[in-house]
């Protein structure tokens, strides 16, 4: 498990203090015990196996359980876990838990156990280590449930939930987060203000689960609830997680503006926490800026400027520069020379949209002088296949950004002249207004009005031999309605 995965470490305010391990804790006691302990510490780097035996010899020198035995066991367990001696590590951890009831103070034991769990969480690298972690968590919960230490119970359960998230055991994770949400609520079902920090950690874990399973509906509801928690003083890394997932959610909805805002907040929180995840999220921020079509350089802000020349972000910097300058060949070259960008599934999933945008802009710029061109021209200029060129032109036509039609038989595209389009539109408007004028003349003109009793009976309606019939010629076009009805008026007058 990498440092990036360890996203919620000791988020209580009192846990921000560094724990200076043992060296400056002068507890007094027997000199031989103290010497044995520090001798073992000197052996850790060069002879870890021998150091384990030396540390395990410290508790044996004490007649009663005390601080030195507790510290010796801690060091032995960490080394055993790193050496892959998981069964021994579990055995000695269970022994360590017997010290917390009376041998050491509650605060010291709680901080030590929490740091121990953090250590193994970082050091776990295989399935056997994960199973060992689960045993550590289970034994911790058994021990501290009996002592009614709710704070450590919550912390350990949250770590267990994260373990199941890493192992993609969503069934057990769902049950665990439901239990944790309930533990962070008052009797009336509302959030307990005194447990806001833990509640946010649970939200972050659950949000990650729904982000992985692409359940955007549940993710959105939890994201909005998490942002409403005001009683917490969370570790900034927690808010980085929540904001990052929110940004990905908005991206899936093509809400680029909200995605950009969330990614920026996520980067700011990760940066404050000193998390390496800030580099990944900064890449997402650059990606979103391109999708928005914004001309603002994402590295102009005070927070992001220090990373503009960071080699880990240089590929994305070059990409956004080429994109905003509409330099299609430089853009393609950056992608070609930095294939590692595609190793991030989120970037790989969304970069196609950015590529299509810059290609469509390049096509529009290329064909401006032409009324007729071939798909081969686009293919050659953009260095893409003719099929891809046809897809881009088709998209532009459907989107209304290009007026024309594709002749697939010979791979040509004919562009409609703007002048012809305007003339056609003007003719359609003139014809519509002329029709309205004739309707007004027939309905309102005095020369065409008469009493109903004087009119002959017509069996047909409009278009069926009735009054409207004389308006249509044999070719389907409108006759001069004046001429048609002048004859009818004379006949009626003579009668």
Give me the residue spans of the domains in the chain: 1-167, 235-362, 367-431
pLDDT band at residue 422, thresholds of 50, 70 and 90? low
Q: What rounded mean pLDDT belongs to the chain?
A: 80
Count Cα atoms within 13 angstroms, Cβ side, for 291: 23
- Between these two residues, 287 and 17, which has the higher pLDDT value? 287
**CA neighbor of 204 nearest in space, from 260, 273, 137:** 273
**pLDDT digit string, tens, across residues 89-111:** 999 999 998 888 777 887 888 88
Q: Is the pLDDT of residue 269 over 90?
A: yes
367-431: CATH class: mainly alpha
Count Cα atoms within 13 angstroms, Cβ side, for 296: 11
CA 375, distance to chain mean position in Å, is: 36
pLDDT band at residue 167, thresholds of 50, 70 and 90? confident
The pLDDT of residue 11: 43
Q: Is the pLDDT of residue 447 over 70?
A: no
The pLDDT of residue 478: 46
Q: Is the pLDDT of residue 291 over 60?
A: yes
Please give the Cα distance from 396 to 402 (Å, whole number).
5
The pLDDT of residue 466: 40
Token pair listed for 45: 């780097």
The pLDDT of residue 20: 38
pLDDT band at residue 22, thresholds of 50, 70 and 90? very low
Q: Is the pLDDT of residue 248 over 90?
A: yes
Average pLDDT rounded to a whole number, residues 185-196: 84
Q: Is the pLDDT of residue 314 over 80?
A: yes
CA 458, distance to chain mean position in Å, is: 71
Average pLDDT rounded to a whole number, residues 51-67: 87
Q: Is the pLDDT of residue 396 over 50?
A: yes
Enter the pTM of the model.
0.67
Contact yes or no for 322/331 (Cβ under 8 A): yes
The pLDDT of residue 60: 84
Each as own residue / partner, the long-range contacts of residues 362-368 (CB below 8 Å, 24 or more positions apart, any chain) are 362/326, 362/328, 363/389, 363/392, 363/393, 363/396, 364/396, 364/401, 364/402, 365/326, 367/402, 367/413, 367/415
Supply angle C-alpha 8, 14, 18, rounded to 5: 80
Token pair listed for 54: 């030396």
The pLDDT of residue 477: 46
Q: Is the pLDDT of residue 17 over 50?
A: no
pLDDT band at residue 417, thresholds of 50, 70 and 90? low
Average pLDDT rounded to a whole number, residues 306-315: 88
Contact yes or no for 180/202 (Cβ under 8 A): yes
Average pLDDT rounded to a whole number, residues 371-387: 90
Q: Is the pLDDT of residue 412 over 80?
A: yes
Token pair listed for 223: 């994201």
Contact yes or no for 488/481 (Cβ under 8 A): no
Average pLDDT rounded to a whole number, residues 382-388: 89
**pLDDT digit string, tens, across residues 450-462:** 554 444 444 444 4
The pLDDT of residue 5: 41
Contact yes or no for 271/278 (Cβ under 8 A): yes
Distances (CA, A) of 188 to 184, 185, 200, 257, 342: 12, 8, 19, 37, 48
């Amino acid at each position: 498990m990498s440092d990036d995965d360890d996203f919620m470490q000791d988020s209580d305010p009192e846990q921000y203090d560094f724990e200076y391990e043992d060296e400056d804790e002068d507890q007094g006691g027997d000199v031989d015990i103290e010497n044995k302990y520090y001798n073992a510490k000197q052996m850790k780097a060069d002879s870890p196996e021998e150091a384990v035996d030396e540390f395990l010899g410290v508790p044996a020198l004490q007649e009663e359980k005390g601080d030195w035995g507790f510290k010796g066991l801690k060091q032995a367990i960490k080394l055993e876990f790193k050496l892959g001696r998981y069964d021994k590590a579990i055995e000695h951890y269970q022994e360590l838990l017997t010290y917390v009831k009376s041998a050491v103070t509650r605060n010291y034991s709680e901080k030590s156990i929490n740091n121990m769990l953090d250590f193994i969480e970082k050091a776990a690298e295989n399935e056997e280590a994960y199973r060992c972690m689960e045993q550590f968590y289970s034994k911790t919960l058994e021990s501290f449930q009996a002592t009614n230490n709710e704070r450590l119970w919550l912390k350990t359960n949250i770590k267990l939930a994260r373990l199941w998230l890493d192992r993609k055991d969503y069934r057990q994770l769902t049950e665990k987060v439901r239990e944790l949400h309930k533990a962070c609520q008052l009797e009336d079902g509302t959030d307990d203000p005194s447990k806001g920090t833990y509640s946010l950690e649970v939200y972050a874990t659950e949000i990650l689960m729904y982000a992985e399973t692409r359940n955007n509906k549940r993710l959105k509801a939890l994201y909005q609830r998490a942002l409403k928690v005001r009683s917490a003083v969370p570790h900034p890394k927690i808010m980085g997680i929540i904001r990052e997932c929110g940004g990905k959610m908005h991206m899936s909805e093509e809400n680029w503006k909200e995605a950009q805002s969330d990614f920026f907040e996520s980067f700011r929180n990760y940066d404050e926490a000193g998390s390496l995840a800030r580099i990944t999220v900064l890449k997402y921020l650059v990606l979103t800026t391109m999708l928005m079509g914004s001309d603002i350089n994402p590295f102009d802000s005070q927070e992001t400027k220090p990373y503009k020349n960071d080699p880990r972000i240089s590929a994305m910097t070059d990409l956004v520069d080429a994109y905003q300058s509409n330099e299609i060949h430089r853009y393609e070259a950056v992608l070609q020379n930095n294939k590692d960008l595609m190793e991030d599934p989120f970037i790989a999933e969304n970069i196609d949209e950015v590529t299509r945008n810059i290609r469509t802009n390049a096509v529009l710029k290329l064909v401006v002088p032409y009324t007729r061109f071939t798909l081969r021209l686009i293919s050659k200029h953009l260095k893409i296949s003719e099929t891809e060129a046809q897809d881009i032109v088709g998209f532009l036509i459907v989107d209304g950004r290009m007026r024309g039609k594709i002749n697939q038989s010979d791979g040509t595209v004919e562009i409609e002249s703007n002048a012809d389009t305007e003339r056609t539109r003007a003719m359609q408007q003139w014809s519509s207004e002329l029709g309205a004028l004739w309707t007004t003349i027939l309905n309102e003109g005095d020369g065409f009005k008469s009493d109903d009793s004087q009119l002959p009976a017509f069996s047909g309606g409009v278009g069926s031999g009735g009054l409207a019939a004389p308006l249509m010629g044999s070719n389907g076009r409108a006759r001069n309605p004046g001429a048609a009805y002048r004859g009818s008026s004379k006949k009626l007058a003579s009668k």
